[in-house]
């Protein structure tokens, strides 16, 4: 069973997001997503300063099995990409909600974050997907 932390928001496409104290949003892929992809071998995170739109593919995670786009759940400016993933893409496998974060975005409109799935809704979506 995959881990779905109660304090995060999710997209059906398996991204997670956390609202930080400074108003930025940290984004990664869920435990379910990393399990499905298998061992990560490359991660391409966006450059800081880039403006992304909600629903836009802005990072790529590539595993031994497949490449997959990571969609931004919110519109805003990228303030950081996780540089550690360049040398250690496996951080996404070992700690998808912690050291395996992918990017941080300063949202144009916080309402987009609020409209994401909560943990219960995401867990229900996962259950529906596997049955």
Partner 1 sequence: MGLRTPLFDTHVAAGARTVDFGGWDMPVNYGSQIEEHHAVRRDAGMFDVSHMCVVDLRGDRVRDYLRHLLANDVSKLTQPGKALYSCMLRDHGGVIDDLIVYYMNDHWYRMVVNAGTRDKDVEWLRQVAADYGVTVEPRTELAMIAVQGPNARAKAASVMPPEIAQRALEIGPFFGIDAGSLFVARTGYTGEDGFEIMLPAEHAVALWQGLRVAGVAPCGLGARDTLRLEAGMNLYGNDMDETTSPLESGLNWTIAWEPQDRDFIGRGALAAQKASGDTRKLVGLLVEDRAVLRSHQKVIVAAVGEGEVTSGTFSPTLQRSIGFARVPAKTGDRCEVEIRGKLVAARVVRPPFVRHGKVAIAL
66 is a contact residue toward partner 1 (CB under 8 A): yes
Give the E-state strand segments of 20-75 in sequence order. 25-29, 40-44, 51-52, 57-63, 67-71
**DSSP 8-state code for residue 117:** B
Residues in region 5-64 near partner 1 by CB under 8 A: 35, 38-39, 41-42, 44, 60, 62, 64
From 20, 47, 48, 67, residue interacting with partner 1 (rule: CB under 8 A): 67
Residue 35 CA: distances (Å) to CA of 23, 28, 53, 107, 110: 29, 14, 27, 28, 29
129 is a contact residue toward partner 1 (CB under 8 A): no
Q: Closest CB to partner 1 among 8 and 37? A: 37
Q: Residues in the site for partner 1, rule: CB under 8 A? A: 35, 38-39, 41-42, 44, 60, 62, 64-67, 93
């Amino acid at each position: 069973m995959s881990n779905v932390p109660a304090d995060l928001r999710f997209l059906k496409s398996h991204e997670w997001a956390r609202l930080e104290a400074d108003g930025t949003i940290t984004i990664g892929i869920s435990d379910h997503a990393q399990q499905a992809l298998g061992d990560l071998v490359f991660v391409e995170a966006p450059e800081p300063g880039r403006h992304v739109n909600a629903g836009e593919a802005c990072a790529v995670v590539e595993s031994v099995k497949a490449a997959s786009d990571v969609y931004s759940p919110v519109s805003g400016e990228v303030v950081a990409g996780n540089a550690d993933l360049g040398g250690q893409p496996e951080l996404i496998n070992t700690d998808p909600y912690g050291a395996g974060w992918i990017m941080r975005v300063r949202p144009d409109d916080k309402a987009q974050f609020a409209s994401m799935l909560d943990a219960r809704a995401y867990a229900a979506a996962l259950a529906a997907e596997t049955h």
